[in-house]
Copies of this chain bind each other. A is one copy, B any other.
């Protein structure tokens, strides 16, 4: 059984890629943030993402760990893809989505980073009217993808997992879907 972590910055198109991959492979899809909320609800300490963010760092850390444990358990009986963020761009900087205490519970087989050219990402974000996203410069997109790569290699060092970078260019969805399926099969 495999446990794969999939990430991509807003506009990378990772959600679309994942949706199309899941039609063709036998993998359970879990969202890390949703799992955290589920656990927070069960423990009756938070009802949604906003509540969660307001908890003390120590409590948040406990919930992060418990979510990782729950995902790991699921992955023992079936193949699992977790979608989450490699790093989150916050007003106080890049926050690692998978800090050490999460990695030590999760121990995935691979991290998949869905990337695209910064100008593609910029155009996709402008076209995306369903979400309000902060307008960013190309240089910021370049930096976010660079920081994600560095973070991913640090995650890999701690877990021994591989880091796969897949390019999701405009009008080439079939290509990335088949590349990702290749990665899942190994």
Contact = CB atoms under 8 A, between A and B. Distances in A.
Interface of A: 57, 61, 87, 90-96, 98-101, 103, 109-112, 143, 146-147, 149-160, 162-165, 182-183, 186
Contact of A186 (B92, B158, B183): B92
A97 to B, nearest CB: 10
Given A87-B156, A90-B186, A149-B150, 12 more contacts: A92-B183, A93-B163, A94-B153, A94-B156, A95-B162, A96-B157, A99-B157, A100-B160, A151-B157, A154-B154, A154-B157, A157-B158
Contact of A146 (B93, B149, B162): B149
B164 A92 contact: yes
10 nearest A-B pairs in the assembled complex, by CB-CB distance: A93-B164, A93-B162, A150-B153, A99-B160, A154-B157, A150-B150, A154-B154, A92-B186, A151-B153, A94-B163
A76 to B, nearest CB: 14
B159 A147 contact: no
25 contacts: A90-B162, A90-B186, A91-B182, A92-B110, A92-B164, A92-B186, A93-B110, A93-B111, A93-B112, A93-B165, A93-B183, A94-B153, A94-B165, A96-B153, A98-B157, A99-B158, A99-B159, A146-B149, A147-B153, A150-B154, A151-B153, A151-B156, A153-B154, A154-B157, A155-B157
